[in-house]
Structure 1
Amino acid sequence: MSADSLLDALDPDQRAVALALTGPVCVLAGAGTGKTRAITHRIAYGVRTGVYRPTTVLAVTFTARAAGEMRTRLRELGVAGVQARTFHAAALRQLGYFWPKVVGGAPPRILEHKAPAVADAAHRLGLSVDRVAIRDLSSEVEWAKVSLVTADDYVRATAAIDRPAPAGYDRQAVARLIAAYEDAKTERGVIDFEDVLLMLADMLAGRDDVAEQVRMQYRHFVVDEYQDVSPLQQFLLDQWLGGRQELCVVGDPSQTIYSFTGATPHHLLTFTASHPKAQVVRLVRDYRSTPQVVTLANRLLAPKHAPGSAARRRGPAAPLELIAQRPPGPPVTYTAYDDDEAEAAGIAERAGRLVAAGTRPSEIAVLYRTNAQSEAFEQAFAAAGIGYLVRGGERFFARREVRDALVLLRGAGRAVDADAAMPDVVRDVLLSAGWAPEPPATRGAARERWESMQALVALADDLEAAAQEKEGHATLADLVAELDERAAAQHAPTVEGVTLASLHAAKGLEWDAVFLAGLSEGLMPISLAETDASIAEERRLLYVGITRAREHLALSYARARNPGGRASRRRTRFLDGLWPQEERRGGGPRTPDRYRAPEPGPRRTISGDVDGEIYARLREWRASVALETSRPAYTVLVDTTLESIAELRPASIAELARINGIGPAKIDRYGATLLSIVASGSSRATSA
């Protein structure tokens, strides 16, 4: 890909980011505005034009998934050698390299969880603790460390910002606990994740030879999600830079939702003050969400609904007003249910209708404020026979069936027939591990195991399709290498199932359909939010939830906790003036017809190259197949695959096989019919 073609793929604002290759750069990027696209193209353009050497670029972000996505995009742009890592992964790698030279021997073992050491410290001090207290104290220890607050400074620092100590303890007791925790770690010969950053930063600050070697290696830095940088991460970033100005930061103050962990937007908001020559680029074109979703998001943060001083709302602190780029979609829906059980059942039913109409379950999410709310939705989706996964549960690559499958795939790689198609080999291997072409009829653990292995099958199909686009074929070794890289980055393949997640866990993700549940006072904002700052952060948390939706967005709350209970709940104050005057109500497992959201039809946005007539006929055909086989429509072929068929209009099985989402089994089953629809359905082809 040429340098010019890299720029051609960007809108004017994104292009401005790509062209800002030197000096300090601040990118204020709203939700859904293509910030990852902009910064990866910036890096690729810098490499293509010779401004950067790939190995001198370090891009850091906050999650392994985001770092993995960045590496994948750079690889697709033909750029190899750029380091894209989380702060901790980058620091751990450097600390492991320099430790033997600076300290000697191997680095200390990392403490995976603070709880045992915190419990030990509490018992030494004679503090009474239970499981909940240990969790809260562990979080407070972590906050102190990422905020660069020592045990000696803890009382003064927390009093200055009016930060209360964990319930049941005073500040002096927490300060003593922090010191005892450090002693407990030292005696065990371990360090925690915060120590990794702190020790490396101290090493760079105190050893000129180490700092010079790192700064010679890395000359250009990119920091994503800069609004979430903690004082400790900023301290390490300052040591990496060593006073240089080759820094590009990307963030959005309106998505600051982790201040309770020590994250602060201060560094983003003051970036132009600390870097007076910085170029500032604003990304406001929203490519993710429909105008209906974008309008609600903008109104939620508008001064009328989110009061704040005029001074605080000028400059970088002012919310970015997003401009929707997608065509109109369905209206946002608002529903007041009688109780929590009715809310969960109503949302499960509406999600089921979306699935039946062709939306993949993995493109649907139910988001709520606290993890404790998930249980009602788990029960409702299980009762409705709809697969789901709880985000924040067991990691994909830690699941036993996934580990076993990887062992089998590695073994098969040494004895596979060179002429065999990789997706077919994967299916044959996984059959011996309990996978089947069709999902089990039962729910629960059996279905979860099948969905894990089905995700591996789907990834194999995707790799093969990508290879065929380049007129090649993927091998089993390619699949194993991809899985190894994903496992290292915890970048799991897509598992089919409706996502149940807290609003905090949803940051950085997006779905076709989002249900925001439990939007009542006490949950949104959470009852613990008592200061103006904490309430403002709760509003931003709702904003993050709204902007996760691409097309379908439903907001709801329950008037009572239990069926038959007193309807004492009030909807969140954040929706005052935004919620329709006449509330939609849902009182039981089925939402009354007059209040149902419109049935999702063929509203999906399609490009101008897609033959609309073929696309419509393909959807009609898929609906009939789904009806005949009593299966959800998405299991036949998903919308994106139908779009590709209608756009590329294949004339042979070989051309059809190159389209992503159609494996050998579906070609055998549907290939002739699909080619017939393409051949007979295009008015464009007829006129040609």
Structure 2
Amino acid sequence: MTSEVQSLEDRLLGGLDDEQRTVATTLQGPLCVLAGAGTGKTRAITHRIAYGVHAGVYQPQRLLAVTFTSRAAAEMRSRLRDLGVGGVQARTFHAAALRQLQYFWPQAVGGQLPGLLEHKAQAIAEAARRLRLTVDRAAIRDLASEIEWAKVSMLTPSTYLQGAAGRGEPGGLQPPTVARLFQAYEDVKIDRNLIDFEDVLLVTVGILQEDPKVAAEVREQYRYFVVDEYQDVSPLQQRLLELWLGGREELCVVGDASQTIYSFTGATSAHLLEFGQRFPAATVVKLVRDYRSTPQVVDLANRLLGARRSSGPAADRLWAEPLQLLAQRPAGPAPEFAECSDDEAEAAAVAQRISKLVAAGTEPKDIAVLFRTNGQSEAFEQALTAAGIGYQLRGGERFFNRREVRDALLQLRGAARTQPTGISLGQAVRDVLSSLGYADTAPSGSGATRERWESLSALVALADELSASRGEAFGMPEFVLELHERSAAQHAPAVQGVTLASLHAAKGLEWDAVFLVGLSEGLVPISFADTPTTVDEERRLLYVGITRAREFLHLSWSLSRTPGGRAHRRPSRFLDGLRPGSLRTTASAAGSSSARRRREYRGPAVCRVCGTVLESGAERKVGRCADCPPSYDEGTFESLRAWRLEQAREADVPAFVVFTDATLTAIAEARPGSLDDLAKVAGVGKAKLERYGDAVLELLRGA
């Protein structure tokens, strides 16, 4: 081995473990990397790309790396630049497809590319008006998600009914009505000469399928492909990838089926799990050494997945054998479990525990509070504010849209034209931002002044970080260019404050200390996860939450929603066997399982009016055929619908999340007189009984 080759190997492969090194040196042919949480997958694939470029196997401009978020793409580009291969394209599926569509549209279609519809709400509202449908904001949001799901699942308005069987009533509308609205939405776009984000993929797929010259040109441009988070690809994205490849096998995919948490958007881990069947000659590498979390956190994550039991053939086919993570960090504290009397008490206890961590030296930016739904954040926002602890709400105002950040970019851009000499980049940035209120010491208290300082402080910290990694040649002009690229990708630097985020929004992130809150039945798993497959996804979601923690992990739940309320809640079934003093399956859970088994095998449900076997879930829920006459009072049913709409608006959720039409029908027909009677109605679980039971009974008594 020559000294030059030895130097290259030392520089790019020296810090990798054996499995990562195998990934980095397998440069050709199909490669499947099964990478557990915290196992250094991004490090492995970026070093693979860099090693391949420096070894002369890859030409940077001929390789396309695909990620699922702009932030992840920006981070990959930054890492590749640090490794000396800045010419590699790292983009999301949509960004890569849009770039190709903009280039090929004139020759493949002709004319000017239609405008891009960034938000569907107005177009859906217009489609509803054309059909004379009444939809509120929550229904529009839910219908937008349903249309997105349909399109990435490669369904059209004419095939929607067949493909969407069993998906419920999005926006409170029956499936045939949703199909009509889907078509009306497409008509609105055509009338306005617009395409949406899903159309970008669909049209690109169409052009590549129909135009051999365009397909050949794309395949000549890109010879090698890397796809990160491959467990999250949709059927449409998979089809686009296949067209890019054109039958070739120069593909590296990276994923973890145990982190599949976006099935509701059309994502499926089937492509990852079946990779070896499509490419029999594929090399498969498993990354299981967890460098992120302590052995205590890793053990809890492993046990959570290991506790899953068979849920039937359909669900078992979609459940992959989990990777058994091996912790590489030193031992840390045992995970903490806390039961609280109500939501307010839980938030106060979490804020108090965070105060102790901060006092002991943990930076607020290294702490996160993660919850199942965004509606849970308010109690923790109030508790942290009362404790004088700054926070940032992930999913709130974007970092680069903040006024102080926009002002800072203007000042830095001006400073870049008169490059300061004799001082470090970090000091130069400090000098510029001092005119906007930055100081080395944080202001006391919280509020707008503290938030402004935290934004500016994040820019200073980023300047220090990049200066250290890029060297002295990285000056103010380069820093401004970096900020411009990060702004376009919304790749924000870390802000000094506790992060509040949903479990879904936390994917791909990590913190020293993580608080998983609201871990009670009805929230985790969420109440509308009513099939084995959706419950499995909720288990994976909790797994993602646990594996965000590097060292400290706190899990909590409350017994009641409000102070003084009935203590009807119980800890999440996923904590059985994990929390101290709990069995793998509690007696109540075992009783529920037995009851479910008895219900499952008691024979087909039949209509109580005509005796016909009931086929749909909605029919079984109300106990009669859709064609048979209802036995409820119309006034009572309309009162229930009006009450449901009010509840949905207050919670800012789709109406069917409160109760579906089928459940409302069943309630109206059964007219329960007590909570016990109401609990027997299909679709009314414990969480909904606690949340809505008294109000429903009061409404029925009034009716």
The TM tier, using the shorter chain, reads 0.7 to 0.9
Name the SS for the 1:544 alignment partner: helix
Distance change (3 Å), C-alpha of 1:26 and 1:509? same
Q: Using the alignment, how far apart are the partners of 1:496 and 1:117 within structure 2?
A: 39
Quick one: which of 45, 49, 52 aligns to 1:43? 49
Aligned counterpart, 1:129: 135
Question: 1:502 — aligned with what?
Answer: 502
Match of 1:258 in 2: 262
Aligned to 2:344: 341
**Secondary structure at 1:344's aligned position in 2?**
helix
Correspondence 1:391 to 2:394: yes
Instruction: Note the 1:19-38 alignment, pairs <5 A.
Output: 19-38=25-44
The C-alpha deviation readout for 1:550-592, integer Å capped at 9, x for no partner, is: 1000100011111122211100001111111189xxxxxxxxx
Q: 1:192 to 1:311 in 2, by over 3 A?
A: closer
Deviation at 1:216, TM superposition (A): 0.6
Shift of 1:333: 0.6
Q: 1:582 to 1:98 in 2, by over 3 A?
A: closer
Question: How far does the alpha carbon of each residue in 1:160-206 deviate from its partner, in whole angstroms, 9 at most, with x for none?
Answer: xx222315211100000110000101111111111111111111111
State the alpha-carbon separation in 1 of the partners of residues 80 and 439 from structure 2. Answer: 35
| 2:284 aligned partner | 280
Q: In structure 1, how many angstroms separate the alpha carbons of the residues matched to 2:309 and 2:186? A: 42
Partners of 1:320 and 1:309 in 2: CA distance: 21
Aligned to 1:369: 372
* Residue in structure 2 matching 1:229, options 228, 233, 246: 233
Gaps of 5+ in 1: 584-688
SS where residue 368 of structure 2 aligns?
strand
Normalising to structure 1: TM-score of the pair? Answer: 0.81
Residue type of the alignment partner of 2:568: S
Match of 2:442 among 430, 439, 443: 439
The reply on whether 1:156 has 2:162 as its aligned counterpart is: yes
**SS, match of residue 164 in structure 1:** coil
Quote how far apart the aligned CAs of 1:33 are. 0.7
Residue 553 of structure 1: SS of its match in structure 2? strand
Task: Indicate if the aligned counterparts of 1:142 and 1:261 stay in contact, CA closer than 8 A.
Answer: yes
CA distance in 1, matches of 2:148, 2:314: 33
> 1:15 is matched with which residue: 21, 26, 35?
21
Distance in 2, Cα, partners of 1:233 & 1:314:
22
Moved over 4 A (4+): 308-316
CA drift of 1:457 comes to 1.5
Partner of 1:117: 123
Pick one of 352, 357, 370 that aligns with 1:354: 357
Q: 1:291 aligns with which of 278, 292, 295?
A: 295
Task: Tell me the equivalent position of 2:381.
Answer: 378
In structure 2, distance between residues paired with 1:186 and 1:448: 44
Is contact 1:205-1:239 (8 Å) kept? yes
Work out the number of aligned pairs and report it. 577
Residue aligned with 1:221, SS: strand
1:214 aligns with 2:218: yes
Indicate if the aligned counterparts of 2:417 and 2:477 stay in contact, CA closer than 8 A: no
**Change in 2 beyond 3 A, CA 1:305/1:156:** closer
Q: Which residue pairs with 1:411 in the alignment? A: 414
Which range moves more in the overlay, 208-217 or 312-321?
Answer: 312-321
Alignment CA distance shift 1:466-1:223 (3 Å)? closer
Q: Which residue of 1 aligns with 2:76?
A: 70
Amino acid at match of 1:17: V
C-alpha contact (below 8 Å) 2:367/2:512 kept by paired residues: yes
The offset of 1:63, in angstroms, is 0.8
Residues 174 and 311 of structure 1: is their aligned pair in 2 closer, same or farther, counting only changes over 3 Å?
closer
Work out which of the residue numbers 137, 145, 158 in structure 2 matches 1:139: 145
In 2, the alpha carbon distance for the partners of 1:463 and 1:163 equals 47
- Report the residue type matching 1:364 in the other structure: I
Q: CA RMSD in A?
A: 1.8
1:176 corresponds to 2:164: no
Contact 1:440 1:447 in 2 (8 A): yes
Paired with 2:353 and 2:513, the residues of 1 have a C-alpha distance of 10
Q: Which residue does the alignment assign to 1:104?
A: 110
Contact 1:111 1:190 in 2 (8 A): yes
Deviation at 1:309, TM superposition (A): 6.0
Q: Is structure 2 residue 243 aligned with structure 1 residue 239?
A: yes
Instruction: Provide the rounded CA distance (Å) in 2 between the counterparts of 1:123 and 1:257.
Output: 34
Cα distance per residue 1:522-541 (max 9 Å; x no partner) = 00000010011000100000
Q: Which deviates more, 266-275 or 253-262? A: 266-275
Contact 2:310-2:316 within 8 A present in 1 as well? no
Quick one: distance in 2 between partners of 1:508 and 1:254? Answer: 13
Structure 2 distance, partners of 1:425, 1:32, is 35
Cα distance in structure 2, aligned partners of 1:151 and 1:347? 47
In the alignment, residue 530 of structure 1 is paired with which amino acid?
D
- CA gap 1:481/1:519 in 2 versus in 1, 3 angstroms: same
Structure 2 unaligned runs (5+)?
1-6, 584-703
Partner of 1:191: 195
> Distance between the aligned counterparts of 1:224 and 1:417, measured in 2?
40
Conservation of the 8 A alpha-carbon contact between 1:456 and 1:493 = yes
Q: Is the 8 A contact 1:348 1:377 kept in 2?
A: yes
Match of 1:533 in 2: 533
Q: 1:52 & 1:425 partners in 2: Cα distance?
A: 38
Residue 332 (str. 1) matches residue 335 (str. 2): yes
Structure-2-length-normalised TM-score: 0.80
Q: Structure 1 stretch 305-314 or stretch 362-371: which is displaced more?
A: 305-314
SS where residue 272 of structure 1 aligns?
A: helix
Look up the equivalent residue of 1:489 and give its one-letter code. A
Larger mean CA deviation between 101-110 and 113-122 belongs to 101-110
1:243 alignment partner AA: G
Deviation at 1:315, TM superposition (A): 11
Q: Aligned in 2, Cα 1:67/1:217: closer, same or farther, shift over 3 Å? A: same
Give the counterpart letter for 1:272 in structure 2: G
CA deviations on 1:204-253 (whole Å, 9 max, x unpaired) are: 11111111111011000011101100011111111111111111111111
Contact 1:366 1:517 in 2 (8 A): yes
Paired with 2:35 and 2:582, the residues of 1 have a C-alpha distance of 35
Give how far 1:356 is off. 1.4
2:91 is paired with a residue of what secondary structure? strand
Q: CA separation in 2, counterparts of 1:326 and 1:15?
A: 20
Question: More displaced, 289-298 or 46-55?
Answer: 46-55
**One-letter amino acid of the counterpart of residue 378, structure 2:** E
Deviations 1:60-107 (Å, cap 9, x if unpaired)? 010111111111111111222111111111111111111233233432
Query: 2:426 maps to which residue?
Result: 423
Q: Is the 8 A contact 1:3 1:49 kept in 2?
A: no
Deviations 1:610-644 (A, max 9, x none): xxxxxxxxxxxxxxxxxxxxxxxxxxxxxxxxxxx
SS at match of 2:436: coil
Distance 2:50 2:469 in 1: 20
In percent, how many aligned pairs have the same letter? 65
**Aligned partner of residue 486 in structure 2, secondary structure:** helix
CA distance in 2, matches of 1:8, 1:313: 40
Residue matched to 2:67 = 61
Contact in 1 for aligned 2:315/2:532 (Cα 8 Å): no
| 1:2-48 residue CA offsets vs partner (Å, 9 max, x unmatched) | 13542222111111212221111111111111111111111112112
Paired position in structure 2 for 1:488: 488
Does the residue aligned with 2:501 lie in a helix, a strand or coil? strand
Mapped contact 2:64–2:89 kept (Cα < 8 A): yes
For the Cα contact (< 8 Å) 1:300–1:306, is it kept in 2?
A: no
1:83 paired with 2:89, answer: yes
Counterpart in 1 of 2:551? Answer: 551
For residue 26 of structure 1, what is the amino acid of its counterpart?
C
Residue aligned with 2:551, SS: strand
